[in-house]
Structure 1
């Protein structure tokens, strides 16, 4: 009798490859190796090759994103159920890797503290400081004490595009362990900065705690043994809260942990197997999570969706600081289903970004015409013009009038006083060629404050001049913030939702612009790039005479 070959535990292999990637990256050994193991995990998870294929010499190497070293580790996992590389990486506890998330403590410091001092994580380091035995650790004590206090008191804030993949990965890992989980909290509300990653799970507390603590990305549980919800720190220091059902229905759990409290209060004591059933039971109309914090939301609003966008607006190419050619950007946008694309490279004052002088701009126009003959998507000639210190645009009117679209943005002198900044923006806005105000407040999420200006005064002029405001989807910007989107919409000001893409890979940034727009209550009719190319150009074409 022939014995059947043992089944391959693909989930275990994927989990091991991801853990190798995480630990390799966290140790600062080789970020390219870390990325390679992540990509290999994705390939195995997607293709799920059989045992024979994975053990056959050279077979794995023929699959996408699997090289010689990753293939060897996969074969070890299939044959032996273990990986020598992972065994070696696990010699360093995850809690030690978390130490490098503390300001002033490098990965090298964390490893040295572990190997020489036996300090295996944040709690151990804190104890040494409290006991007065931390003077000889090689890190200035007062600086270290302050950094630890801040770390323990304040969660590590993450931008939405960083926090969301972490949350999704944790949900997948919990699902592999047989626990139903979902992303809730600020991520589900699509906020731009995430202080705490919140998840909801339908599981017994003990079972959830044991699985949660074992996940590759989790450094340590920080909640007490009998405390619910569960709280954990990840390898990079991020705080995660895992809410458990504790007698609540799944729909109730999702609603309560998504929040906000004022919205949840409208649901009364209703329960439901999902949110739809919960709202039906409560006799309350379901509201998109990103709109639940706005008490003035409209009961009949049809929020904009990414599929409503016909035009890909605000794209850069190799003519300035983009990474792809006009043709590459055009073909990629067309493949995503867009009907037109604005080529809006930086203007001549943006020397750092290889901004275009008039001669280079004309050469770009000729290339746009050449590419247009090869592609189906319509290409619009544009520029992202700097708003200069005095409020002037960056070219003579005779140049600007030849374009299809001008996006006017501030890229320098962000610290002008409120009066000077307001005057600067207003002068630019009153120029006949000013049609789209690009990344309006110049903020960078978690790293740069908005420019100081009197926004209400500016919005009043924007409404008079009939210009549009960009909602910039670059996840570092996500500008204009939703509370100001609501104020602008109230004045009848139209919007464009852009990607500010500098490569084909970042064309998807429109999704983050959509997030902001939905939080601001925008519908398709509020957004100009839901129009056809001809209608869009008619609304934004610059003119003087």
Structure 2
């Protein structure tokens, strides 16, 4: 079992304990353990050698809980706690901004035990006069329920890829199609195509409880998510093509001529139409066919082109890894540099660095870069304050190689107010990268009100970069804006927003998105020559 899965079990245990009115210190211990587990590089070894209790913050009882979860996939205490609450009640915890404390209040005061109960209570305005709620909170919950119901059953890309790996191990002779093969931002259904095995034979071997055979499709749930297996056989490559591309992509290809039967490969489809082969992730219908006509597909950024990333957090703020840990992982994945951008002082909730702490970190980065013979840029993720200012004074910001400016608060401003705030921040001479520019959490919350076109125009004026945050929860900038960024000559910087060293690898989710948006290497900061990056950051000038 992966440490990410164990961490989720620990969080679930903490939540159930909190709902049960357990000691707050015990609840916090489980929440903290969930975070600590993610930071352990040798998690598997520590579990197998039963040495977890040597890790600060993980005591004997939590160690025993983890060992049992790791070996058996569950724990008796966890299962007992689950029995105390019905599934409809626990589903309420999935509503954004509705934590255990608020949920207990709703249960106690209004007897709310399901989403339907909550919807009716909101309809009746019963939360308006409820202590700790009020009209503003009621309106937010109303929108949160709508959002939750619109994304229910969907998967993040990293979650879908993890399930894809399990399904392909369990069932032979199937190939991913649809959103999964295109590496969509979120996935509605896990879809596969059989190549040679008759669907009836495949269906006969299925052991899934809710399996249904409907015509040429086998349907079932896998770990709670919808799966479809399509009949393959004759005209396999034509079906693979038709089940992979977006509707827009397929229509544009068909405009160039009929898709032949009995193909020997997908490549043939594109070759016969005088096009470069268009990889699955690029088949979105937003310009890839024109690029393929001009034989420029090879100019689009690829995984091998990525030399490093700038937006990474350490133990100095809310990260769980040291700079040395990042250097180690960076070398393993072939990076030539990294950047460190911890949270700024306003982000108290995330252990933001005070001025002296930041100055000390700048020196530490310089020393570690020399000691390890590895290029490390010094940066900061500065909160964009309500008035559009950045954290710290000019004389401090001028010592950094770059500043990532991001919004972490006041999401509910009007579009006009939010844009005034953002444009002022971008005008600051020290801001180089505008971070997670839409402020969204996929399947979690909508972003703030923002006019991306105006943002890009302002970034272009100042020769600044826009971030494509590659954390699977964000994937922000949305890939659909990449063509606009390129037309305005705004470089795109793919960043993992890493909080543990292994998260550096999340940069590759961003590459999937960059390829969807047809981002050319020349417009991707991460693929630039190191000397060009240094020149853009005035690296040498700042060190005179």
> Quick check: 1:263 aligned with 2:249?
yes
**Structure 1 residues 434 and 186: alpha-carbon distance in aligned structure 2, compared to 1, 3 A threshold:** same
Q: How is 1:46-195 mapped onto 2 (pairs within 5 angstroms)? A: 103-104=88-89, 156-175=153-172, 180-195=173-188
Correspondence for 1:303: 300
Normalising by structure 2, report the TM-score.
0.70
Quick one: distance in 1 between partners of 2:340 and 2:518? 28
Verify the 8 A CA contact 2:471 2:506 in the aligned structure 1: yes
Quick one: distance in 2 between partners of 1:141 and 1:453? 30
Where 2:377 maps in the other structure, the secondary structure is strand
Quick one: distance in 2 between partners of 1:370 and 1:167? 43
Quick one: distance in 2 between partners of 1:104 and 1:192? 29
Quick one: distance in 1 between partners of 2:441 and 2:522? 28
- Summarize deviations over 1:464-512 as a string: whole Å, max 9, x none: 1111001111111110001112211121111111111111111101111
Q: How is 1:389-408 mapped onto 2 (pairs within 5 angstroms)? A: 389-408=386-405
Q: How far off is 1:281 after superposition?
A: 5.0
Verify the 8 A CA contact 1:334 1:376 in the aligned structure 2: no
**Structure 1 residues 494 and 154: alpha-carbon distance in aligned structure 2, compared to 1, 3 A threshold:** closer
Verify the 8 A CA contact 1:219 1:235 in the aligned structure 2: no
Verify the 8 A CA contact 1:104 1:144 in the aligned structure 2: no
Where 1:407 maps in the other structure, the secondary structure is strand
Where 1:168 maps in the other structure, the secondary structure is helix
Verify the 8 A CA contact 2:301 2:511 in the aligned structure 1: yes
Verify the 8 A CA contact 1:473 1:499 in the aligned structure 2: yes
| Aligned with 1:220 (options 202, 210, 213) | 210
> Quick check: 1:523 aligned with 2:517?
no
> Quick check: 1:348 aligned with 2:380?
no
Q: How is 1:212-291 mapped onto 2 (pairs within 5 angstroms)? A: 213-214=206-207, 218-221=208-211, 223=212, 225-236=213-224, 238-245=225-232, 247-249=234-236, 251-265=237-251, 266=253, 268-270=258-260, 271-281=262-272, 284-291=275-282
Quick one: distance in 2 between partners of 1:421 and 1:158? 30
Correspondence for 1:198: 191
**Structure 1 residues 183 and 324: alpha-carbon distance in aligned structure 2, compared to 1, 3 A threshold:** same
Quick one: distance in 2 between partners of 1:405 and 1:144? 46
Where 1:452 maps in the other structure, the secondary structure is coil
- Summarize deviations over 1:120-167 as a string: whole Å, max 9, x none: xxxxxxxxxxxxxxxxxx977965999xxx999986011110011102
Unaligned runs of 5+ in 1: 1-16, 36-61, 69-85, 90-96, 107-137
Correspondence for 1:133: none
Verify the 8 A CA contact 1:102 1:151 in the aligned structure 2: no
Verify the 8 A CA contact 1:331 1:375 in the aligned structure 2: no
Where 1:230 maps in the other structure, the secondary structure is strand
Q: How far off is 1:257 after superposition?
A: 1.0
Quick one: distance in 1 between partners of 2:536 and 2:465? 9
Verify the 8 A CA contact 2:88 2:113 in the aligned structure 1: no
Verify the 8 A CA contact 2:382 2:404 in the aligned structure 1: yes
Verify the 8 A CA contact 1:409 1:438 in the aligned structure 2: yes
Q: How far off is 1:196 after superposition?
A: 1.0
Verify the 8 A CA contact 2:248 2:285 in the aligned structure 1: no
> Quick check: 1:207 aligned with 2:198?
no
Unaligned runs of 5+ in 2: 15-29, 35-43, 51-70, 75-81, 92-111, 121-146
> Quick check: 1:427 aligned with 2:424?
yes
**Structure 1 residues 432 and 258: alpha-carbon distance in aligned structure 2, compared to 1, 3 A threshold:** same
Verify the 8 A CA contact 2:459 2:490 in the aligned structure 1: yes
**Structure 1 residues 141 and 446: alpha-carbon distance in aligned structure 2, compared to 1, 3 A threshold:** closer
Quick one: distance in 2 between partners of 1:283 and 1:63? 53
Correspondence for 2:484: 487
CA RMSD of aligned residues (A): 3.8
Correspondence for 2:140: none
Aligned positions, number? 426
Quick one: distance in 1 between partners of 2:408 and 2:13? 36
**Structure 1 residues 262 and 370: alpha-carbon distance in aligned structure 2, compared to 1, 3 A threshold:** closer
**Structure 1 residues 201 and 152: alpha-carbon distance in aligned structure 2, compared to 1, 3 A threshold:** farther
> Quick check: 1:510 aligned with 2:507?
yes
Quick one: distance in 1 between partners of 2:381 and 2:165? 35
Larger radius of gyration: 1
Q: How far off is 1:457 after superposition?
A: 1.8
Verify the 8 A CA contact 1:405 1:541 in the aligned structure 2: no
Q: How is 1:303-382 mapped onto 2 (pairs within 5 angstroms)? A: 303-382=300-379
**Structure 1 residues 259 and 447: alpha-carbon distance in aligned structure 2, compared to 1, 3 A threshold:** same
Normalising by structure 1, report the TM-score.
0.70
Quick one: distance in 2 between partners of 1:350 and 1:450? 19
Verify the 8 A CA contact 2:521 2:528 in the aligned structure 1: no
**Structure 1 residues 219 and 403: alpha-carbon distance in aligned structure 2, compared to 1, 3 A threshold:** farther
**Structure 1 residues 174 and 467: alpha-carbon distance in aligned structure 2, compared to 1, 3 A threshold:** same
Quick one: distance in 1 between partners of 2:150 and 2:465? 41
Quick one: distance in 1 between partners of 2:463 and 2:493? 13
Q: How far off is 1:101 after superposition?
A: 11
Q: How far off is 1:220 after superposition?
A: 1.7
Quick one: distance in 1 between partners of 2:346 and 2:182? 38
Where 2:526 maps in the other structure, the secondary structure is helix
Q: How far off is 1:540 after superposition?
A: 3.3
Where 1:399 maps in the other structure, the secondary structure is helix
| Aligned with 2:454 (options 446, 452, 457) | 457
Quick one: distance in 2 between partners of 1:141 and 1:327? 46
